[in-house]
Amino acid sequence: MGKPKMKWVRKVEFTEDQSSVIAECLCFINDIGLPDHIDEKVFDEAFDVVNDDSPFEWSCHQLDSLSEGKDQ
């Protein structure tokens, strides 16, 4: 009996603003072209994950005060 195949997955959570910045950066890189050392298939998968989000992927948390989370 062989060892089971394992797939490591890292879950990263972003705010809406952070997700927008990452999406813009990926779009920019996609527009100018990928460097040779980046795997195009993996880039396309990451691009899809960031840009094809669903409202069901988002969560909302109650803040302790109205000023929490605002830029100071």
Quick one: which H or E segment has residue 47? helix 40-51
The Cα–Cα gap between 28 and 24 comes to: 6
Res 71 pLDDT > 60: no
Greater pLDDT, 43 or 59: 43
Statement: the pTM of the whole predicted model exceeds 0.85? no
Task: Look at residue 72 in the predicted model and tell me its pLDDT.
Answer: 47
